[in-house]
Amino acid sequence: MMKNEERFGNALIFAFILVTLVFASLGCASATPPDEAWNETYEGGGEDAAWEVQQTSDGGSCVFG
């Protein structure tokens, strides 16, 4: 059987992990999109075409081709 001290220690570790995850998820759920990190265009010698466009979770879009 577990002693009361062991149960308290396990409960304390669980509470710490739970609080850490809650605060981390609150920081990730920002209402404003992040600043633009990268925007560059490369041209090749051939034809350029986009094969797929997907909307990102922050309201932007990704173009694949």
Backbone angles phi and psi of 4, in degrees to 5: -60, -35
Q: Is 8 helix (H, G, I), strand (E, B) or coil?
A: helix
**pLDDT for 31:** 63
- CA-nearest of 26, 33, 30 to 55 is 33
pLDDT digits (tens, 9 = 90+) for 36-64: 877 777 776 777 778 888 888 888 888 88
- CA-nearest of 63, 15, 57 to 42 is 63
**pLDDT for 15:** 93
pLDDT digits (tens, 9 = 90+) for 4-31: 888 888 899 999 999 888 887 776 655 6
